[in-house]
């Protein structure tokens, strides 16, 4: 979406500015959907105790994804060229 905006408006939005707007929107929409979706789509299953064990594994997977994502994004955000680090581009 930001690429589309750059073609027409040419905004200079950094990654952190983009994320600061996105995190706010995400927080509002998450709370809204947490209340709205169960009202619109009634759950068919009453007991979710069997699915509770999956949460710790899901959190571990998500944390791992975020760590690897930040490791790939941050060098470019601060102007570090990963190919110039000895042994990194091989």
* pLDDT one-digit tens code per residue, 70-84: 777 666 666 666 555
- Exposure b/e, 17-37, CB count within 10 A at least 16 = b: eeeeeeeeeeeeeeeeeeeee
Q: Which run of H or of E encompasses 3? A: helix 2-8
User: Residue 78's domain spans which residues?
Assistant: 45-90
63 burial type by CB count under 10 A (0-12 exposed, 13-18 middle, 19+ buried): exposed
Residues 56 and 35 in one domain: no
- pTM exceeds 0.75, yes or no: no
* pLDDT one-digit tens code per residue, 44-72: 887 777 767 777 888 898 898 888 777 77
Is there a contact between 25 and 41 (Cβ–Cβ < 8 Å)? no
Residues 2 and 32 in one domain: yes
* End residue of a domain, out of 28, 43, 58: 43
């Amino acid at each position: 979406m930001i690429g589309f905006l750059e073609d027409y408006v040419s905004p200079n939005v950094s990654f952190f500015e983009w994320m600061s707007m996105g995190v706010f929107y995400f927080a509002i929409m998450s709370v809204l959907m947490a209340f709205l979706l169960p009202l619109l789509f009634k759950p068919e299953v009453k007991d979710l105790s069997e699915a509770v064990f999956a949460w710790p594994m899901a959190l571990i997977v998500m944390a791992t994804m975020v760590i690897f994502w930040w490791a790939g994004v941050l060098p470019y955000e601060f102007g570090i060229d990963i190919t110039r680090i000895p042994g990194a581009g091989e």
